[in-house]
A and B are shown apart, each in its own frame.
Chain A
Amino acid sequence: MKSWMKVGMFALAVLAVGLWMVPSGAWAQKEIKIGVIYPLTGGAAAAGRELRAGAELAAKIANSAMPDLAMPMAQNQGIKSLGGAKIKLIIKDHQGNPTLGADLAKKLILDDKVDGILGCYFSSVTKTVSAVCEQYKVPMINGSSTSPGLTERGFKWFWRTTPHDRWFTKDLFEFLVGLTEGKVQGVKAVPREEINTLASACEKTEWGSHVSGLIEEFAKEYGFKLRKSLLYAAKSVDLSSEVRSLKAARPDVMLFASYTSDAILLVKTLKAQKAHPKIMWGQDAGFEKPEFRETLGDSINGILTRTVFLPKVVDIKKLAGQVNDLYKEKTGNDLGGASARAFTGLQTWVAVLEKAGSTEPQAIQAAANSIEIPGKDLVVPWKGIRFSTKGKELGQNVLGSGLIGQYQKGKDGKMELEIVYPFDVSSADMIFPFPEF
């Protein structure tokens, strides 16, 4: 054999061995592990089920090609820039316990070697989990915790897609002012003195106490009179003294920040004690869960809740309708604020990974900081997703927005949430004042 042939053969052999030794991930379909931490048991288990279903649906769409859906992640099987790598969700239950959440985050990072984390709904748990992620430099995307403080900590590995409570609470006061100016569909301008007094009852962990503070702050700013502001334990089995104290303040508007079981208990107690405010508003969460509607039936007719997604959005957004159908097929329920945001959270993860083209944390960090998802690709009615990279808030999506919905009994006897704010997308006349229980 001639020497050049020998060299050639040797080179080919080296190449063959070299190719064989290249990490399998470079070509083979790799799995991308995302740790998902939600409250699957305890008082918020109902929300947990919705969140889980939302995230699972997004993963299913990302992993299979559904060309009918007009969103980039539905066009390919898996993450195209990662060779079609599939998303694998590792789901854990934090039970609303911040300490357990932190332990689970460590387990996901160190034992399961996840590429990133999604969660956790409860702001208090998101706080501890994001701190663990920050320590281990593992990216975390949060889709549904709304305590403003979460993105004010200067964390570099934490991004939040949902708008936070400062925006939502401001929306509420804009809505109240709009009500006095006759901007609400179907309601003549209401004299200010008819809705000038407020009272709030919020659950007392990170989220609720923050909302309570915001209500106080905005009431002052907008010139409303806050007569009572109380905090209660979401796990309470009896809220009658809290309701008595709310009633005693004789407010025109009652405001709540409650998780599921406590929201139901609050309304039941308000009904039993024959409270009759002119407006009742809930800061999403429990007020928007299917269980809230199913358990309380007709008595919620006229209650308002802020949210980021209502089934009525389907009428103004085709994509939302399509995803809603898939979700309904999976769970039997319509998409809600929690499930739509969990869906959007995982969708953002997919978009970030697609842009990063790598599972290296630094590449994911750079991709998240520069990502721009247009509103048309989302199920939620936002302008899009773009994270703030400077200023007081780091990692906060600056293109999100909220809605206020009102429970109204339809002609078919079903209780539906109609959009009453923003005023330009209202889907029905508002019921005002709140009908007596």
Chain B
Amino acid sequence: METIKNALDFSDFPRLDLTVAGAVALCLIIFPLFPLSSFAMSTMIQFLMFALYGMGWNTIGGYGGQVDLGKAQYVGIGAYTTAVMLIRWDIPFWVSMPIGVCFAVTWSFIIGYPLFRLKGHYFAIATIATSLVLKDIFEVWEFVGAARGLEISPIKYHPPDFLRLIFREDIYYFYFILGFFFLGILYINWFRKSRLGYQLRSIKDNEDMARSLGINVHWAKIKTYAIATGFVSVVGSFHACYIKNIEPEDTMSLDISILIALMAMLGGAGSLWGPIIGAGILIPLKSYLKEWLGAQAGLVGIDLILYALIIMLISAYEPRGVWGIIEKIRRRKRA
């Protein structure tokens, strides 16, 4: 009960933040009512997916300060668990998704235990390495379709199928992922005020100090890593049903890991709204710049240049991301 109360309690945020957040939430809920293109809808679904990935990353990367660049491996575990179970044994999404989370969390414990002995850049590199190794294993593992991956056949199921999460229209996927998105926000809101959340922030500020206060630093990191993993795995399972085709090169690529981390860093690591802001900037930018400039105006590649420029500007001006800029402005106003 106390947990639910905590999750729903946003009273420590200024009224302005809550008003903006409320307005955004309302816009999201009524989003499909606007006359929009299917491209806008798929961009919105991607935004919600990446916002959730970012929220997961933010627990360990933002609050905990451990730069994890291997999140794609958990996207893969979630996606493959759901796809394999559905294709081979017709197990619905709602059963395979939690099983995927269990697999992902178990794997996170296995690699988290030795990995959290490392610090800083070494940790970041090690997470990349484990992710790439897992991807390579999936690429030669025939049971999961090897490099060809797996396809959820569009002719085998009859949409709308709420059990297997197979739909033809994107609007269904939109509301499902929106539901996960709101639950994700509530969970992170609880998490940041939880005992583990405070422990993590103290570890980020000064690990030795935290240890001297009796915090089991190693264990706190492992636990948080598992939480981050769970988030990513749920969205990975959703990804399998939404895209209906998964292959290691697409689902577990280094690009995804980097994009997840970048999004949270750009928005503001270590803040509740940061990953959402980051995804809100980068995902539409990625989709629309490519579409308008790359495909229509024929300026192939300019989207990547602009994309990089924005990232460079923000990191040079305020390394704490967009949320850092907002807080700076606020502080100045108060002063």
Contacts and interface: CB of A to CB of B under 8 A. Distances in A.
A301 interface: no
Given A149-B148, A206-B149, A127 B245 contact: yes
A134 B148 contact: no
B206 interface: no
Contacts of A208: 147
14 contacts: A40-B295, A45-B300, A93-B294, A103-B39, A106-B170, A110-B38, A127-B151, A128-B245, A132-B154, A205-B247, A206-B147, A206-B149, A209-B148, A231-B139
Top-4 shortest CB links A-B:
A110-B38, A209-B147, A204-B147, A111-B37
A209 B300 contact: no
A186 interface: no
A29 interface: no
Given A93-B294, A109-B38, 10 more contacts: A98-B250, A106-B39, A110-B38, A124-B148, A128-B245, A153-B153, A155-B155, A205-B247, A206-B148, A206-B247
Give the interface size class of chain B: 20 to 34
Interface of A: 40-41, 45, 91-93, 95, 97-99, 102-103, 106-107, 109-111, 124, 127-128, 131-132, 134-136, 147, 149, 153-156, 204-206, 208-210, 231, 233
Contacts, number: 92
Nearest to A212: B147
A205 B300 CA distance: 24
A135 B168 contact: yes
Contacts of A209: 139, 146-148
A180 to B, nearest CB: 32
A111 to B, nearest CB: 4
Contacts of A132: 154
Interface string B241-284: 00111010110000000000000000000000000000000000
B168 A128 contact: no
A41 B146 contact: no
B39 A134 contact: no
Nearest to B38: A110
Given A41-B301, A204-B139, A206-B147, A131 B154 contact: yes
A136 B154 CA distance: 10
B139 A134 contact: no
A239 B217 CA distance: 41
Contact of A124 (B140, B154, B250): B250
A107 B39 contact: yes
B42 interface: yes
A134 B38 contact: no
Given A45-B300, A93-B295, A106-B38, A231 B155 contact: no
A131 B151 contact: yes
